[in-house]
Structures are given as structure tokens and as C-alpha cells.
Structure 1
């Protein structure tokens, strides 16, 4: 009995000591990994009595100036292994290094390490040992407990020699797991190599592309091939030339999970394995190559396939399929384009298919109780180094959940605070499940450590956890709030709930992208967009000849119409040249793939405005392309420039106007006689255009209840909370006319990350059980231009009274109390628009003041009119 008690005590003491040691090392890694040269070393130290010592640079480090020495400070020491920090942080010159084939991020002087990522240099050698046949059992046992470098990092570059150099990318937690494995002699490298040191570093220079190196070699057949680049290294030969050259590709081969998986052309030989695993296909270039000389490390350090699996539960009904589509859509909007393939992991595949080794991320999104076997499979996946994201599922890594105490029987929208591992906290509205993790959450449970990253604002109950599992760097994000749910989903009931979630939609995507990045995914960073030529489209065929003839008389010898900022180069199909910000090729007529001219024509009911369209797929801005063209065409010709996408859209006061796909974006040219009702009140032009956009929707039968409103001076709003669009006007005087170029942009069909008009249509259909069709950009642009012409004509015929009556019925500010200039400034009450089109307010003392739109803006949240900055 006494022996049993002693054994239990010793076991408990050893486990406690191991847990304290692990946390101490992990905390040191988190403290120093991103700022210093954090090093793990093996071998007898050169000094034993001092914790701080000057050291010489490694063979891979850049030398420091003579006045500055590398200093090493010991943080932790165990037998011959130690953990240190080295200052200054070592830097590696990559000019003599070689990139791994297929590396997602070539290393150049301009390469930026992703936030939270660490560049880790490993120095490795082959162990000095003789194969005497002894110790096989111990070696197999050690191998079964080993931690693989390739599971926790991305290989970037290598350099042959003794020691062999390897540069990888990992994150702070991955470095912690690798460091623990190093200290415990459990770190596994390929080819039987052993790491003698690993250290976090910075880099300079550029690593070399192996394919390009060999391509250059082919161009110099007379060059000596037996230089210093060959190194006989324990039976493995590493060369800077690639003896058998193969090109990369991305095709699809083999069946995995009942669907298609990407076929990867790599340095492997052609052919498909019998087990259906992904194999490569070889494409050789001309020349004599020796296949046996290819670097073995290039084929063995492979990253996981870019597969993301979504598990929706044990059923296979339309509900589960719709849930998969919902999650797939939100993931595709957050992740980098063309980076991942998203599959549904069906219930019968969880235990029967070998999916774990081919999965970069598993997403669990089911609220049904999980079978024990399924739960154990998911836990094993994470503990073996996998990454998992749980959206309100019962996969909780052994934790208990409990009801949120403040929640009524009706689930709904509540405020939460998300605190990322790096960066500032974000507050947002979320749809909750009604559950939270136990507030008495322990920092550790078994081999898993937890960190609260999301909690309810009112009671601080934990609802999003970051779990670190096992030695192998496994991670899981567990969420009890519906981050995957769009505000337009059926579960969202009522206009108030919809509005709250829509307001927080940008923050929801920000949180989702941070979570996915934390789990090692590559999220969207935007791509360079290529400018495209324009099409000159004339709605009425009878008008085309007159327009073309008028333009032709102003062209130079190159058929260029010179403009102030943008010149138009008129070409035919065979002469199209690349578009630039300064010169835009224009084709007369032709089909524009992304613009439905027929829909535009069917909805345009004008006499003049918008009859001649300059349509461009991608353009910096439509505001600069009509100035010269407007002076060439007949006065009764209405020009409009329309864009599918703008790269440098212009807002009021020089601000940038975001121009995502799905927005109506155009510049309308309007001539206003100076001696007219509107000519005497030109500031009204922007108000007329803003009202025209709102009326283009709300005057349609059955659409009158869509809550589109006007915010002074130039914004189009949903209710009083979310901006949908805006108007900007540039004008000049030409003779007896004012030439106004009215820039307008409003969101028709792009739901994310904010709101669009079609969201309001969907919400109306859901609340009122209707089936109203959604809008297209062509339809609403044409209707807005038509309404603009009608409103201008009404203003010219009847003055401002009728217009103001319609305008006030849509705007947000009647008798609103505001402060002028600052929150401590004088209080006033909004009266409306004065005779000139300026905002009229009356101060508390009775003084009436007019506020011009140029240079001022209205802060809805603070009821404040301030100078626009």
C-alpha cells in the first residue's frame, strides 16, 4: 500500500514538474520569439559559469560591425541543451541560398513576414554513429513520440554544407512546440539529420530559384559543372543545379472524399499510387539529365495539400447541405483567392477515410451531439498537429459549456469583445447560441492549453477559445457565437436584428480573418488589377454617326483625343493596346462582357442624359474621362462613364471611394443653363442626384417600403445607420452653361462586408413573404439617370418647392438637434435647405445660419456638423 501511494505521489510530482517546465518554456518563447534571436542549442556550452557571454557569428549569420558583438543570454538550461536569446537578432544573407520548389513565398529583400510569423534557421548534421543493429527498439519508440518539423513549419530555403542550413517559417506557438521537442530530443528532420541549433532570424538578400539556376546552366554548356557547389554529405548529394527539371502545375487527379482533389505536378515521378494518394506528373525539358542526382530534401519537405474540410453532422439533408454552402461562401470571402479547395466531409467519411494527413483545416459546424468515435477522431486530429475551427459545435476539447445567464428564451444578437493574440480588441454584435464556456476555465486541461480570445461584453463570459494541443503544434479555435452566419440568413428575425448584424459585418470579417490567420491559413490581401480598354456605346442607333463624326474632327494623327488627365485613344479590335492611367484605348461599339447593354437600354427613358455610354471594365476612376469628350459631342448628347470596377474611386474632399464589384459606379455629364432656375441654385445638383438614386428604387411598385434615405450633404443610407452610396460633383462654366460631372456610386449587390440594396430586397421578402426580384447595376443606373432627368426638368419648370417636398420625405434630418463645429459648439436645429441649396439651421438664440456642403460633413452618431477632414 505504501509503495502504491509513493508511486502515485512521484507520478503526480513528475507530471506537475513537466507541466510547469512546459509553460515556462512556452512563455519564454512567446516573450522573445518576435523581437530577439531566440535560440535552442545542443552540445557542451563553451561557458558554464556565466549566463551572459559574447559569442562569434554562426557560419550562416551576417557579421556585425567591429564595434558591435553578438551577446548571448541563457534563459533555460537542461544537461547539454539550452535556450538562449542572442542580441542583436542574427540576420541571414540569402544570396547563396536556394528556394524550395513550390515555396508559396519566394524570399526577396521586399518579402514581408506575415504578422505573428517567425523565420527559423536550423543548423543540422548527420549523426556520427555506426549501424551495429542495436537500439532499434529504442529508436522506434523515440520515432513514435517524435515531432515532425514539416507538420509545424513551411520550408522556404536551404543551403548545403556542413552544417546543413534550413530556413522555415512558423508562428510563435509552432516555435514553442519545436523548441520543446528540441529540448526533449524529439525533433524529427528528414534524411535522419539532427538539428544542433535553431534560432529565430531576420533575412537579407534573395534566395535563388533552382529552376532558373538550372535554366541558366543549360545556356552555358561549356561551363565547368564540377565546382564548389557539390558537397558530399554523408551519402546525400546536394547540388545548386537540378539534374532533372520539372515544371509546377495544378491539375486534379485521384479520388479523395468522394470528390476531386488537386493533382500536384512536383519533383516526384509520374503515376498514381494504388491508395489514391496525390502523385505528381513529370514534364521534362530537353537535355541530358541524371534523375538520381536530384536533391532528396526537395521532395521530402512537402506542405499539406490545400484542402479545407467542413463537417456539418451526421445527416445529409438540405439543411446540412445549405450549412456547408454557407460556410464555404464565408471562407472563400476571407481566404486568399486560388489558395484552397473546400470540401464537405460527410459523416460516413470521418472514420473510414484517411483525410487527416491531407487536410490543412477542418471546420466543424453542427449543433448535434457528436458520437464518441467522431469526437475522438477530431481530438486526435488536433493532437497530431491538425488545425480545427468549431462554429457552435459540440466539439469542445473536453470542456463544459453552460447557458449564458442573461439570455432570454429567445436567442438573439448581443455584444461581444474579441481580443486577438496580437493587436487591439474589437467589439461587435454577434448571433449567440445561448451557451458559453465555463467561466472557471483552467489554463490547462490534460495536454491542452486554453486562452480566451472572445467574451460577452455584459458579463465577460468566454465564448471563443484558442486551444493549443499536444507536442505537435495542434490548434483549435472553439466558438459559441455564429461568426459563420450572414445577417441575411433565415435565423435572423426582424429589421433591428438585421441592422445590428449588418453594422458589425466588417468587424465579423476582421475577426474571421484573424482566426483563420491564427490557424495558419492565408487570407485575402487584395490583388493587382489590370486596367482595361473602354467601349463607346450609343443607345440610339440614329445618334451614333453624329457622335462618331463629331469626335473624329478632334482627334490627332494617332486618333487620340487629348484630355487634361486622361487621353482617349480610339482604336479598332486589331489595334487595342494596353490601358494606362494616362491613356485609355476606346473601341466604338462591340460587346462588353460585364455590361448588359440591353437591360440598360430597356430601363433608360431619357431624352438626353445617359444616351452615350463610355463603359470600362477596370478603370482608375470615371471622374476624369469625360472632360474633353464632353466638349466634342453635340450639346444635346448626354454622356455617361460607367465602370465595373474602379481602382482609385474619388469621394468628396479628395477621399478615396471604395469600389467593389456589385456597385453601380458612374459619372454623368449634365449641362445646366446658367440663366435658369437650377442655374441660379447650382448646389442643388448633388441633392437632386442623391434623391434620384433613392427614388429609382422606392418609386417602383412594391419597393416603396425599402428604407433608403438621404443624409446631408451627399450620402445614400439604409435607415439612419449604414451608408450605401454617395455623390460628388465637379463643375465648370463653359459659355452660358454649367458643365457638371456628377460622380455617383452605390452598392447594388455586394453584401460583404457591409450592405447593399439587394440585402434590403431579401430582407423585405423574408419579413413580408414576398418574392420581389433583385436589382442589377445596369437597371438601377438607367433608372437613376432617368429619374435625374425628370427631377431636373421639374426643378427648371417649377422651382424648388416640389423638389424639396420629395427630398424631405426621404431625408434623415428634419428638426434634428445638432452642434456646430464641435461637441462644445453652439447647438442648433436643422430647418432644411435654403434657397441656394445649403443647409439651413437655427441656433438656440434664434440666429439662422447657412452651412455649405463643401468642406463640411455631418456626424450621425454625435449629431455634429464639422469641417470635413
Structure 2
């Protein structure tokens, strides 16, 4: 699965005004070639966008059926005994103690009503409505305090297999670690980030390492206002990190997005023997790129050899001396659309490698990130600087700065003081002038393919 930014409509319109024949039957009538009925004709709009994606070299679903499937129930389970019970107590959920079936309990958060119920009990709809009214407007969370749900309940993600891999990886270090031990899974949800980031009453009671996983999403989110495509076959997850303000000097919060990117790349490359050949890189500030299988012998100069294969989104809230971070990640694992996937890359090396398993890769990422984060708190990002540069795409890359002078610059690296991108100005002969700029990740957009750094609008 990949998180992929949609092209702006204006750019799409300018692209199609070159009168490609493939669109002639779609863009007829109306003003300036734009049909008047598109505002009310969703089917024609989908046909138009499908044709655009094909012209851009992307694959798209040819179906124009407008069916919105219902969101699935969520499943809450833990690796260790008592983890789910302890979390439910923290959330203020009261369980029956008379030995009878526990009643469902409701948590009213800012944007979502959560109904927690025992995963081994199927409550009748009339019973649910006695607690929450219209049950169709409520997110049901089935809790499993003794064992995770059977695989038949979560056919696209085997939670038991995930926990087995997680325990195996957690047993290797000499220190106790816990990220990913409490898992909330849903086959179809709106967004793994939004379901906790937009419900701060819930978020502020969740522990660091609490992880949300979805098979598909209906409202995946990107940086700024960018939407994201979330097809079947990707690994989509979010993890909570509570970062205390006392770490501000040694471990500024801005570096955590870089730490996550490094953890993902290393987990992919150290997944198993032979996977270090997988050509995966970091694009500043928070994307994962893959090199095309046609050019895998060395690091190519041609930027068109790269495709986006994953992305990271960090949302932050602050309260009571803590940053409450929700770190969302999406990685193309087995899906073929819209660009490429880890499966395709693994099949392309010599000899071909088995496809990545979602459960095992997630467990690897969780353990790698937690170990890196613990070291980050003690030593800062300087401890990872050279390793980070080993995997990123931008050493000495020449870029154009979209400013009043359209300056040209050479990327130097990341400032270890504040996490900003450091660039050196170049003159018309590509010689450094001695002037440097610092660019914020949140305030600038990096068009890697065109070598253009611009301010976000």
C-alpha cells in the first residue's frame, strides 16, 4: 500500500487541454471543454479521472460504481496478559464484576463515539442502540483480554502472527521494549491517524507505542491538505509517541520524523538475509522512495528511475509538558498500484526474494523504531546522522529555490540544531557564494523530480 498525493485539478486540466484522443468522449460540452454536468455527475467525473491517471502512466480501477462500504469493527488486543485490561482501566471503562457478560461501555471523544465490548460476545443491534442510540454512527471496538481474535475475524492481517514476530524481535535486545504491544486493527477505517489524532480525549490516555493498523482507509491523509490513495495490499499504521518537553534540548521533536523514516528503511533492508539489496531511500522530509528495477546496479542520476513507495505523516498535540505525536505511515508492500511495491522490488533482485509479510514487517519496524527512539533521547539525532545520509537521496543535489530571485542552491544536509534543511547558494557558474539558507520541513515543499524547493501555499 502506498500513500500517494493527488495531482492538483488545475494541473490536470492544463494537461488535458492538449486534446488527447482518449478523453474526447468524456470532455464534451460545457465551457472551455469542462462539462457543465460534472458537478452532479459523479460517474463521469470518475471516468475523467481514470483516463487522466492512465495518461500519466498510473493504473486505476476502471469501475465507476459509487458504493461506500461500511466501516468495519475494530479489534483491540495485546501481546502480554493484562495489557488490554490495564488500558481499559486507564480509559475509565468499568467492567462488570459479577461474573456475567460485561456491558458495552461508551467513550464520547471529540469526533468519534467509541463503543467498547467484549470481543467474544456478539451484541444484538437493539442492545447497542440502548447504549448509544443510532449504532450506525458509532465505532465499535471489540476487546480481547486473553488472546487476539481468530484469523477468520481479521483475514487480511493475522494478529497472532504479528504478535509472534513482535515477541521474537523484542526478545533479541537486552532491554525491555513495548512498542506495538497494544494493537488496534480495523479492516476498513477512515484513517489510522485521524481516529486518534482527532479524538484528543482518547489520545491523551494512550501509552507510547499504542499502534493502529488498517487494511484500507476511506479518508487517508497526507501533509497539509493533500489526500492520499490507500489501496489494498499496503501496510498502513499509526503509532503514538508521548515526547516530554524535558527532551527538547537533547532530542528536539522535529527529528522524530527523520528517525521514523530511517527505521522504516532499515527494517526493509534488514528484514532478512538478502533484503539489503532492495533499493530503498529517504526523500526529505518524510517520504520513502524506491529505485526502478531497470536500474538497480548503482545509485542513478536520473530522477525518473525513482518512485514513491511510502510516506510518513506526523501530527502533534501539546498538553501538560508533553507532545502527543501520532505518526502515520503507509508503505506499498504487495499492491501493484499506483506505482510499485516491495513485492515487485523483491522479485526483481537476483536471486528473487520472497515477498514481504505485512505482519513481520510491522513488527520489525516497531522494534527498530523503539530502539532508535530510546537512543535518540540519550544521544540526540547526531548518533544517527551519518547513517541517515547513507540512505537519503540529496547529498550535493542542486535545486532551484522558488523565491523572488529563483536562486540555485546545493543541498548540504540537515542542521543538527533545529532539523532544518541546509542549502548553500550557487551563482550562475554553480559555484558556492558562501551564503546559506535553512528551510523548514513544515513550511516548504520539495519537488524531487524537478529539483525545486518552494514555500507551501
State the TM bucket, normalised to the shorter chain: 0.7 to 0.9
Q: Which residue matches 1:603?
A: 165
Cα offset for 1:639? 0.8
What is the Cα-based RMSD across aligned positions, in Å? Answer: 3.3
Inter-CA distance 763–731: structure 2 relative to 1 (3 Å threshold): same
Cα offset for 1:571? 2.0
Cα offset for 1:617? 1.2
Q: Which residue matches 2:281?
A: 709
Q: Distance in 1 between matches of 2:342 and 2:139?
A: 31
Cα offset for 1:824? 5.5
Q: Which residue matches 1:574?
A: 122
Does residue 563 (structure 1) correspond to residue 109 (structure 2)? The answer is yes
Q: Does the CA contact (< 8 Å) of 2:311 and 2:331 recur in 1?
A: yes
Q: Does the CA contact (< 8 Å) of 1:822 and 1:865 recur in 2?
A: no
Q: Distance in 1 between matches of 2:451 and 2:251?
A: 30
Q: Which residue matches 2:11?
A: none
Q: Distance in 1 between matches of 2:42 and 2:106?
A: 42
Q: Which residue matches 2:84?
A: 544
Q: Which residue matches 2:337?
A: 752
Correspondence list, 1:669-748, <5 A: 669-676=240-247, 680-700=251-271, 701-719=273-291, 720=303, 721-748=306-333
Inter-CA distance 552–809: structure 2 relative to 1 (3 Å threshold): same
**C-alpha deviations, 1:350-388, integer Å up to 9, x for none?**
xxxxxxxxxxxxxxxxxxxxxxxxxxxxxxxxxxxxxxx
Does residue 585 (structure 1) correspond to residue 140 (structure 2)? The answer is yes
Does residue 665 (structure 1) correspond to residue 247 (structure 2)? The answer is no
Q: Distance in 1 between matches of 2:365 and 2:157?
A: 17
Q: Does the CA contact (< 8 Å) of 1:794 and 1:803 recur in 2?
A: no
Q: Distance in 1 between matches of 2:88 and 2:320?
A: 24
Does residue 854 (structure 1) correspond to residue 442 (structure 2)? The answer is yes
Inter-CA distance 793–725: structure 2 relative to 1 (3 Å threshold): same
Q: Distance in 2 between matches of 1:623 and 1:569?
A: 19
Q: Distance in 2 between matches of 1:426 and 1:597?
A: 36
Q: Distance in 2 between matches of 1:113 and 1:663?
A: 26
Q: Distance in 1 between matches of 2:359 and 2:412?
A: 36
Q: Distance in 2 between matches of 1:795 and 1:756?
A: 30
Does residue 632 (structure 1) correspond to residue 220 (structure 2)? The answer is no
Q: Does the CA contact (< 8 Å) of 1:674 and 1:737 recur in 2?
A: yes
Inter-CA distance 597–569: structure 2 relative to 1 (3 Å threshold): same
Q: Distance in 2 between matches of 1:563 and 1:610?
A: 23
One of 785, 791, 814 as aligned partner of 2:395: 814
Q: Distance in 2 between matches of 1:426 and 1:723?
A: 17
Inter-CA distance 650–753: structure 2 relative to 1 (3 Å threshold): closer
Q: Does the CA contact (< 8 Å) of 2:251 and 2:376 recur in 1?
A: no
Q: Distance in 1 between matches of 2:327 and 2:439?
A: 21
Three-state SS of the structure 1 residue aligned to 2:434 is: coil
Three-state SS of the structure 2 residue aligned to 1:666 is: strand
Q: Distance in 1 between matches of 2:393 and 2:69?
A: 37
Q: Which has the higher contact order (CA 8 A, sep 6+)?
A: 2
Q: Distance in 1 between matches of 2:368 and 2:136?
A: 32
Q: Distance in 1 between matches of 2:136 and 2:448?
A: 36
Q: Distance in 1 between matches of 2:54 and 2:122?
A: 53
Q: Distance in 1 between matches of 2:307 and 2:222?
A: 17
Inter-CA distance 709–799: structure 2 relative to 1 (3 Å threshold): same
**C-alpha deviations, 1:583-631, integer Å up to 9, x for none?**
3111102334232112211222351211111111111111133343343
Normalising by structure 1, report the TM-score. 0.39
**C-alpha deviations, 1:198-228, integer Å up to 9, x for none?**
xxxxxxxxxxxxxxxxxxxxxxxxxxxxxxx
Inter-CA distance 805–551: structure 2 relative to 1 (3 Å threshold): same
Q: Distance in 1 between matches of 2:257 and 2:81?
A: 31
Specify every segment of 5 or more residues in structure 1 that has no aligned partner in the other structure, as ranges.
1-29, 37-109, 116-335, 337-419, 429-503, 514-522
